[in-house]
Amino acid sequence: MRKTIIGIILLTAISLLCRSEVTLQPLGNAPTIHVDGKPMLIIGGELGNSCASSEPDIAGTFAKCARMNLNTVLVPVYWDLIEPKEGKFDFTLPDAILREAKANGIKVVLLWFGAWKNSMSCYAPEWVKKDWKRFPRAKTSTGKPLEILSTFDENVFRADSTAFINLLTHLDHVDKDNTVLMVQVENEIGMLEDARDHSKQANAAFNTGVPKELIQNIPLPNMAVPGNSTAEKNLTWDKVFGESSSEADEAFMAWHYGRYVGRLAEAAKKVFKRPLYVNAAMNSRGRKPGEYPSAGPLAHLKDIWKTAAPDVDLLAPDIYDSGFTGWADKYAMPDNPLFIPEIRRSEDNPAQALYAFGEHDAIGFSPFSIENGSDEPDNRSVKGFAKLREWEPLLTQWRGKDMTRGVYFDMDSISTTLTMDADSLHLTASHFFTLPWDPRATDGSRWPAGGAVIARIAPLEYIIAGTGVVIKFEGHNEIADKRTLGEDGFLADGKTSPAEPSITNSQTSSPIADSQATSKRLRESPTTIERIGILSCDEVDTRMQRIRRLSGDETHQGRHVRISPDDFTILHVKLYRYQ
């Protein structure tokens, strides 16, 4: 009997030691999700708000997501459905999520729709909604009550926290295979109609001034004497955060939303060890605080949120406006790894993901309302996500080593130049349709997005994995040839490339004249021009095995390399210098 007991103890200990973990830890210098010590990229999709509210819906949705080649699905868990009566919990739906995810070979990120979802408190249970005296609401400056639970009320926090921690405790018991990768705390927190809550409790908190903890831990440009203990006393929000009342109001609410979420996160990590994040609705289109969800985890409020909620691992943007790269760039910061949990679903998504992974070592990428997308094998997104899954080992191999850049092009942004200092060259990347050869470039068709990861794997040696791009390589002192060459390489008399408009100022009347002026300048002040040539360009697989050697017409006789928007391809390019 004694040996049996010892055996059971040993087996239990081994089981605990062998249990895999989910962590957010560096790979090179890039924070990365690891499962059982192995890095992974989230190639995901987020479900629409109501897709996880019944077991049949969950089953059908996960099966479709598997056919769409996703490795992760972001799934809501609803407070009102797991705690329909106070203190009585029903985890049927979270269990169904785990069951269907495992059956389809998919990981999940759980979204806690608790006290707030898109600012509002629509997912609070009926017993919370009806008892507005016990669970008070935020108010506008005119006294209008909103369907937004007050972040200043302890009853609200205790009820929300109790449900959240019970859910996570249950998951810790049942998620033995670590199907859950991360947890989102609330959803798109923020005040609407006004920049801040004007309830009695909120006004009292506002009038106490800026907390010392906040003053000591973030840059405060409006402080007259930073670091002076006397100056730090009794500082009002408007003195510290600007004369604009909306700026002060937003900073005040960001602090209190952050503190609320920070307390949830601190408690969560004691029972369920998973990375935590919060997502933000963007402050776009010139809107003012309160016209967008004021005080959410926005880039300009990052320092406040990081101080208020240190147990939250990252702030994440939900991107629905144009200017994708600009929004992504704002959230890729040294202390905030990029994760895009929501973006407008389109066939451009794989190209956008390539930019995020290549330029910013993003943790993951996830279009919204993914269940409404196509799961047909020939759909561009389905093919693109399949390639991202196939390329994941390469992307993780390069990750965090400062080896990669990312490019993304649509009709609003068609070209960019990257400086590759290690090789002393310029890399000009453009949309494929800047070449005049495809009729879709000029027939009024919508240009499909182009995107690529560009990895420098050795001196003058590059891997380009992408779709819909054309790339030229030039030395730092190389003089760009502004003359247009046709597909056969012959001069196109006096015509210029769509990507390079003709110059019509008084100094240069034509591309030919510009070239002649350059030649004259070089004769008068001779210098050595070192040029970059393409030594070889191979289409390869993920093992770097050659599929075909590309040259001649496929490289415009050695002038560039390119990938059609109809393909997702890996190119292995070797360059050389000549004079």
Domain stops at, among 322, 356, 391 = 391
pLDDT at 573: 98
| Domain identity same for 351 and 450 | no
| CATH code, 69 | 3.20.20.80
| Domain identity same for 328 and 422 | no
- Residue range 312-333, pLDDT digits in tens: 999 999 999 999 999 999 999 9
- Which of the two residues, 173 and 494, has the higher pLDDT score? 173
Q: Is position 127 within any domain?
A: yes
Does pLDDT of 290 surpass 50? yes
Percentage of the chain lying above the pLDDT 90 cut: 80
* For residues 260-274, average pLDDT: 98
| CATH code, 439 | 2.60.220
Strand-pair partners of 27: 30
pLDDT at 493: 54
Burial class (CB in 10 A: 0-12, 13-18, 19+), 41: buried
| Domain identity same for 479 and 348 | no
- Residue range 555-574, pLDDT digits in tens: 999 999 999 999 999 999 99
Q: How confident is the model at residue 12 (pLDDT cuts 50, 70, 90)?
A: very low
Q: Specify the residue for token string 């290690």.
A: 422
| Domain identity same for 336 and 477 | no
pLDDT at 3: 43
Dig out the tokens for 293 from the structure: 């969800």
Distance CA 190, CA 117 (A): 9
pLDDT at 530: 85
Contacts of 277 (CB under 8 A, 6+ apart): 182, 183, 184, 185, 312, 313, 314, 315, 316, 339, 341
pLDDT at 278: 98
Q: How confident is the model at residue 477 (pLDDT cuts 50, 70, 90)?
A: confident
Does pLDDT of 218 surpass 90? no
Q: Is position 26 within any domain?
A: no
Spatial contact of 315 and 277, defined as CB atoms under 8 Å apart: yes
Q: Is position 12 within any domain?
A: no
Dig out the tokens for 138 from the structure: 């935020």
| Domain identity same for 419 and 282 | no
**H, E, C per residue of 208-239:** CCCCHHHHHHCCCCCCCCCCCCCCCCCCCHHH
Q: Is position 240 within any domain?
A: no
Contacts of 40 (CB under 8 A, 6+ apart): 32, 33, 34, 71, 107, 392, 396
Burial class (CB in 10 A: 0-12, 13-18, 19+), 172: middle
Distance CA 301, CA 191 (A): 14
* For residues 281-299, average pLDDT: 96
Q: How confident is the model at residue 514 (pLDDT cuts 50, 70, 90)?
A: very low
Distance CA 542, CA 384 (A): 15
pLDDT at 454: 98
| Domain identity same for 352 and 445 | no
Does pLDDT of 515 surpass 60? no
pLDDT at 9: 40
Residue 361 amino acid letter: D
Beta strands in 150-207 (DSSP E): 180-184
Beta strands in 372-502 (DSSP E): 404-409, 415-420, 425-431, 450-458, 461-467, 469-475
Does the pTM surpass 0.75? The reply is yes
Comparing 230-244, 246-260, 366-380, which segment has the lowest mean pLDDT? 230-244
Closest CA to 559 of 529, 527, 526, 533: 533
pLDDT at 20: 63
Q: Is position 476 within any domain?
A: yes
pLDDT at 1: 43
- Residue range 97-115, pLDDT digits in tens: 999 999 999 999 999 999 9
| Domain identity same for 377 and 496 | no
pLDDT at 4: 42
- Residue range 334-353, pLDDT digits in tens: 999 999 999 999 999 999 99
| Domain identity same for 135 and 262 | yes
Dig out the tokens for 383 from the structure: 């093919």
Domain stops at, among 357, 391, 425 = 391
- Residue range 142-185, pLDDT digits in tens: 999 999 999 999 999 999 999 999 999 999 999 999 999 999 99
| Domain identity same for 320 and 458 | no
pLDDT at 502: 31
Q: How confident is the model at residue 529 (pLDDT cuts 50, 70, 90)?
A: confident
- Residue range 241-254, pLDDT digits in tens: 876 789 999 999 99
Comparing 34-48, 269-283, 462-476, 504-518, which segment has the lowest mean pLDDT? 504-518
Q: What is the mean pLDDT of the chain?
A: 89
Does pLDDT of 406 surpass 50? yes
Domain hosting residue 526, numbered range: 407-578
| Domain identity same for 177 and 314 | yes
Q: Is position 84 within any domain?
A: yes
| Domain identity same for 173 and 105 | yes
Closest CA to 117 of 170, 190, 68, 48: 190
Q: How many domains does the structure of the chain reveal?
A: 2
Distance CA 460, CA 477 (A): 16
Q: Is position 2 within any domain?
A: no
Please tell me whether residue 431 adopts helix, strand or coil conformation: strand
Distance CA 71, CA 44 (A): 6
| Domain identity same for 332 and 450 | no
Does pLDDT of 507 surpass 60? no
Q: Is position 242 within any domain?
A: no
* For residues 203-231, average pLDDT: 75
Contacts of 485 (CB under 8 A, 6+ apart): 491, 492, 556, 559
Domain stops at, among 391, 423, 441 = 391
* Residue 266: Cβ within 10 Å count: 14
Does pLDDT of 503 surpass 60? no
* For residues 130-148, average pLDDT: 97
